[in-house]
């Protein structure tokens, strides 16, 4: 792309002249200088163009069809939105009266024809520079005025707030002065300002508190345990923003304290109701999270939780170089059970199996999951293969001892389980999927060998 397209636009110039030759010449010269140029041949077209977009500068001929250059200049000068646009007259009229009239109407410069192109360019640049400096100065003045208005408004507002906040605020508001010993160490604070809510909260009146020392009778006081924090507010200019539990009344307060001179100002609010709602909401969220991770039928963890927990414990055992064991199991011939006893009885059977499996685990980290359909899983962190086999056998025996009738089972008169076990010390060469696959192969072997049994599958890691 050419440089003329890359260069930034220096300004937007409107040329008004009924001579096509002049328009071509002026536009060509100015465009080469980096200006965007719009040309029109009469005053009406100029007004239409200005209404569409305000130019940064206007080059204006005096003698024009319909509306003369003088008249157009007068129209623009009487309009608040256009009066600041610099106008340079370019005219063959060179008498003193013509120039005086132009400047009286508000033009910025007057160039007589014929003119020198270099001179014209310099005058355009000069007027645009003046125009932009005026605009910048106006912006600065406006910003300064707005800032003064803001300061004045804030000051008036502060005065109004200071006059009304103490008696109208629903929060406790107080101010304290630091009391220092001869070494300059803060040893106490004196009440200076206190509103009715603050006085009522600490069980006194405003008159009795003003001038009183904060540490007087502080035992059981609302601010007990906060003295050192108040000292930090004054000495280190920190902002204290704290939720404080008032044990005597079992209330919660939100306290905000900021440095004020050689002391501090404080605002405090009773938030007991809000804290109670937060506690209830937290408990509700925990319950929702629990329900999201629990299988509604069996009341053990669901498949979604299985995936999360397996990845979590995989990472933990990998960090600590400990064994992670997995048990997968199926209810034997469960389809036959549903066919014989119905789906409602099948649901009750799965619930009993899940609860029986839960009784076999002893450690908080060991978790039972409904893996899908009649399939269950158990994740046993920090458990080697031998221990996992013991747990699996215990689970098998527990379910058999439940003596849930199953007339269509081909291995027992009662509901039984087939279980596949595997274990591994997680490493970069393995993945949770490999552990699942190994346990699944062990489960397949348990079924193939006649069901109602436990099989262990060693997990073979790829050679380095």
The upper half-sphere exposure of residue 204, i.e. CA atoms within 13 Å in the direction of its Cβ, equals 15
Q: Are strands 172-180 and 109-112 parallel, antiparallel or unpaired?
A: unpaired
Q: What sign results for the dihedral spanned by CA atoms 211, 215, 217, 223?
A: positive
CA distance 367 to 204: 57
Tokens coding 69: 């250059």
Q: What is the DSSP letter of 198?
A: H
Distance, in Å, from the CA atom of 248 to the CA atom of 219, rounded to the nearest integer, reads 10
Would you say 231 and 211 are in contact if contact means Cβ atoms under 8 Å apart? Answer: no
The DSSP annotation for 406-444 comes to -TT-SS-SB--EEEEEEEE---TT--HHHHHHHHHHHHH
Phi, psi of 434 (to 5 degrees): -65, -35
Does 374 participate in catalysis according to the annotation? yes
**Catalytic-role residue among 84, 133, 235, 374:** 374
Residue 258 and residue 239 in contact, taking contact as beta carbons nearer than 8 Å:
yes
- Residues designated catalytic: 374
């Amino acid at each position: 792309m050419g440089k003329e397209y890359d260069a930034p636009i220096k300004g937007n110039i409107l040329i008004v002249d009924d001579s096509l030759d002049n328009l071509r010449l002026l536009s060509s010269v100015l465009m080469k200088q980096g200006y965007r140029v719009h040309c029109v041949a009469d005053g009406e077209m100029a007004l239409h163009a200005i209404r569409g977009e305000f130019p940064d500068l206007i080059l204006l001929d005096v003698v024009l069809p319909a509306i003369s250059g003088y008249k157009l200049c007068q129209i623009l000068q009487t309009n608040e939105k256009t009066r600041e646009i610099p106008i340079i007259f370019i005219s063959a009229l060179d008498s003193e009266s013509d120039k005086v009239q132009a400047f009286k109407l508000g033009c910025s410069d007057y160039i007589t024809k014929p003119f020198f192109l270099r001179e014209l360019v310099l005058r355009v640049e000069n007027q645009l520079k003046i125009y932009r400096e005026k605009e910048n100065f106006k912006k600065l003045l406006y910003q300064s005025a707005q800032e003064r208005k803001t300061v004045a408004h804030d000051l008036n507002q502060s005065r109004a707030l200071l006059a009304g906040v103490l008696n109208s605020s629903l929060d406790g508001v107080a101010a304290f002065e630091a009391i220092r010993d001869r070494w300059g160490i803060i040893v106490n604070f004196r009440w200076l300002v206190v509103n009715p809510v603050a006085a009522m909260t600490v069980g006194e009146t405003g008159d009795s508190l003003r001038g009183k020392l904060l540490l007087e009778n502080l035992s059981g006081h609302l601010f007990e345990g906060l003295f050192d924090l108040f000292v930090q507010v004054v000495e280190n200019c920190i902002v204290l923003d704290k939720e404080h539990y008032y044990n005597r009344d079992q209330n919660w307060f939100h306290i905000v304290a900021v440095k004020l001179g050689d002391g501090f100002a404080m605002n405090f609010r009773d938030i007991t109701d809000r804290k109670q709602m937060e506690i209830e909401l937290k408990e509700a969220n925990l319950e929702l999270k629990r329900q999201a991770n629990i299988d509604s039928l069996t009341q053990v963890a669901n498949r979604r939780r299985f995936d999360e927990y397996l990845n979590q414990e995989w990472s933990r055992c990998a960090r600590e170089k400990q064994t992670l064991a997995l048990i997968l199991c199926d209810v034997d011939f469960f389809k036959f059970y549903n066919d014989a006893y119905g789906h409602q009885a099948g649901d009750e059977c799965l619930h009993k199996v899940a609860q029986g499996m839960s009784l076999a685990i002893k450690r908080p980290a060991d978790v039972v999951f409904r893996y899908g359909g009649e399939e269950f899983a158990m994740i046993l962190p920090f458990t080697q293969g031998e221990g996992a086999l013991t747990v699996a056998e215990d689970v098998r025996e527990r379910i058999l001892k439940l003596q849930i009738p199953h007339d269509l089972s081909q291995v027992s008169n009662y509901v039984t389980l087939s279980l596949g076990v595997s274990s591994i010390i997680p490493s970069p060469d393995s993945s949770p999927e490999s552990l699942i696959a190994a346990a699944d192969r062990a489960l397949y072997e348990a079924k193939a060998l006649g069901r109602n049994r436990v099989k262990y599958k060693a997990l073979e890691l790829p050679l380095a």
